[in-house]
Amino acid sequence: MSYRILGIDPGSHLTGWAVLDLPSFGKNIDLISCGVIDVGKSEFPHNLNKIFEELKVVIEEYNPGFMSIESVFSGVNPASLIKLTQARGVICLLSSVYDLQLREYSPRFVKKSITGYGNSSKNQVKDALKFFLSLKNNEVISFLDNNILDNNISDAIAIAVCCATDMGSFIKN
């Protein structure tokens, strides 16, 4: 049985997303597509609508069965935390509207599941992701290399890979 996972790195300005297929447990994970929703100069609530509408298109195009997102972590300033929570609310609403199983993971848990160490750097996570994914062309690999939007995409991929590696804990055979 194959599982399709939508990983999302929520943000109020940039929201990364990645769609993965897990053909079966113990097999390489296929990266189907990934991207970034850039709300530009949109202000509340228009930024939330743009996140909602663009993720809706992704969900309808790729038809995932699971959605995984990063949980909120402390240490973010209160104003940023409020904006992040609003973006996460839109994403959680979409999981309900499309009846997707929602999984939330802490940043530390994601890093540990990818690299084996919860305090890994973003570059260590990016390097480790290449071992999990069946990367079929250089264009996909370039998403994991250094550019301005890369952290949002690689974080979304990492969250989806984390969900894929954690599936044994919540899927009943």
Q: Specify the range with the lowest mean pLDDT, choosing from 8-12, 43-47, 55-59.
A: 43-47
Give the pLDDT band of residue 139 (cuts 50, 70, 90): low
What are the sequence ranges of the domains in the chain?
Answer: 3-169
CA-based angle 73:75:81, to the nearest 5? 65
Q: Which tokens hold the place of 37? A: 């929703």
Q: Give long-range contacts, CB 8 A cutoff, 24+ apart: 44-53.
A: 44/83, 44/86, 47/12, 47/13, 47/87, 48/86, 48/87, 48/90, 51/15, 51/87, 51/90, 51/91, 52/90, 52/93, 52/94
Burial category of 35 from C-beta neighbours within 10 Å (exposed 0-12, middle 13-18, buried 19 and up): middle
Residue 173, pLDDT score: 47
Q: What is the mean pLDDT of the chain?
A: 83
Which tens digit of pLDDT belongs to each residue from 81-117? 888 888 999 999 999 999 999 999 999 999 999 888 8
**Superfamily of domain 3-169 in the CATH hierarchy:** Ribonuclease H-like superfamily/Ribonuclease H (3.30.420.10)
Q: What is the pTM of this model?
A: 0.87
Give the pLDDT band of residue 143 (cuts 50, 70, 90): low
